[in-house]
Amino acid sequence: MKTQRLRKSVVAGAACLGIILGATNAFGSNWLTLQGTEPAGAERLAKVWGFVQVQYQDDQSDPNPAGGYIPPKLIQPDWESQSAFNVNRARIGVRGVAMPLDQKINYFLLVELGNNGITEPGNSFAKATDASVTFNHIKGARVRAGLFKYPGSEEGLQAIHVFDYINFTWVTAQMLLERFPNRNYTPNIPPQTLPPETAFNGFQNGVGAFRDVGVQVFDWFKVGKDWELSYAAMIGNGNGLNFSDNDNNKDLYFYAAAEKVFGGKGPRRQGLKFFAWSQTGKRTADLSNDGLFNPAEYDRDRYGAGIKYLRKGLRFTAEYMKGEGMIWQAPHNPSFGIGPGQGKPGAPGNGALAEGKGFYVEGGYRFKGTPWELDLRYDEYNRLDGDRFQIDFDRTTFGVQYFFNPRVRAAFNYEIRNANAPNFPGGKGPNANLDGIDNRIAIQITAIWSQ
């Protein structure tokens, strides 16, 4: 079974690579190039840069009949209140060319100092999120090694400081933003009254932040007058921001995109992009509540495809994603299970062997000659898809952005949120705690600076 999965992944990646390598090289900009390479002809040894995001969020959800709350009704990453100010991101980095040794070698370093899922679990003051070196010596096959964003979903791959919304979609936050299982079985945490007596986060490690340690081969090519093709193939530990690996398994990542470029450069380049990606691997975890240390291997596969359009102030994005295995339930469910299925492989409600799927559609318009932009997004996520304990999430987000200048902006989001377990009546089973999930207000200031 493992050999078959590996063969399918390699064949799919080779097909994408073979198609793309038939094109001629060109200089362009997309997330792979922006994050992995320096501009052509750049001769800077070090460019210091960073950004800060300060936010306020207010959740209007109601507790269950006993007064207990679950994490979706509270503000992350602490899940201790329904309204909070937070410095959710504060990152500082340095990047450049390895002069005077070799101008074809680039490096990228970035450290997180904010309060979020990266730093909160271990109460870390700072955590490295990127530490990589790129070698640009082979035409058509640049090589990047170290810790960096793996090629994948548009929502995860894009730079967070130009993300047009404050919170991720349900499917990205739950199915893609990985939480890694604890070494030993850890029981779930029940709903808590406020302030919570028990900390809601049952996971010992921080989120994966869409990153991994490994080696990636990638490049981009110009086809015809205005088309650009790009690809990436990567092998990584499958252990997120942790520099070391926790088992002998490795993850495989493949990505391919085709974009008709209309003009511009950098993260706001205008174009029409089609993309697809995959991630396949295994996770080792002790999820059996038998009083013994019995780790087992579980498949964790993710796939997706989408489209993005940006031109003359008008933006549109749509992406569909599917997950198989290691379906995360919530920060207070470290067993990856819900209901009687927790700790019982194959039983209903066990996320380790479950599936999930979701999508989002979003758009925005920047009014010409003004600092104002309006945004609208709709997203859905079916967690434990097809399982008795399936939970369906949906959200509509209305957004407004005001750009003080190209590097400083304010964003306001109003989220209309719903969650329901379709196989249970209202107030029963999971719905006893899902009922009452309500709308949320979020305000955020983003300030970007560079040397």
pLDDT of residue 15: 38
| pLDDT band for position 5 (cuts 50, 70, 90) | very low
The whole-chain average pLDDT of the chain stands at 90
Virtual torsion, Cα 69, 359, 275, 165, nearest 10 deg: -50
Q: Computed from CA positions of residues 421, 425, 426, 431, in that sequence, does the dihedral angle turn out positive or negative?
A: negative
| pLDDT band for position 347 (cuts 50, 70, 90) | confident
In a domain, 241, yes or no: yes
- What is the domain-level CATH number for residue 178? 2.40.160
Answer for the pair 63, 72: CB distance below 8 angstroms, yes or no. no
In the block, tokens 């679990």 appear at 121
| Out of 3-7, 64-68, 238-242, 399-403, least confident range | 3-7
Per residue in 99-154, pLDDT (tens digit) is 777 888 999 999 999 999 999 876 677 899 999 999 999 999 999 999 999 999 99
pLDDT of residue 211: 97
In a domain, 291, yes or no: yes
pLDDT of residue 343: 63
Mean pLDDT of 217-241: 95
Percent of the chain residues topping a pLDDT of 90: 76
pLDDT of residue 42: 67
Burial class from Cβ neighbours inside 10 Å (0-12, 13-18, 19+) for residue 289 reads middle
| Out of 203-212, 249-258, 333-342, least confident range | 333-342
In a domain, 260, yes or no: yes
Please tell me the total count of domains within the chain. 1
pLDDT of residue 366: 96
In a domain, 190, yes or no: yes
Residue 135's domain spans which residues?
A: 2-45+91-392
In a domain, 202, yes or no: yes
In a domain, 60, yes or no: no
pLDDT of residue 19: 33
pLDDT of residue 100: 73
pTM (2 d.p.): 0.90
Per residue in 170-210, pLDDT (tens digit) is 999 999 999 999 989 999 999 999 999 988 999 998 999 99
pLDDT of residue 447: 97
| pLDDT band for position 376 (cuts 50, 70, 90) | very high
298: CB partners within 8 A, 6+ apart: 282, 283, 284, 285, 287, 325, 326, 352, 353
In a domain, 115, yes or no: yes
In a domain, 10, yes or no: yes
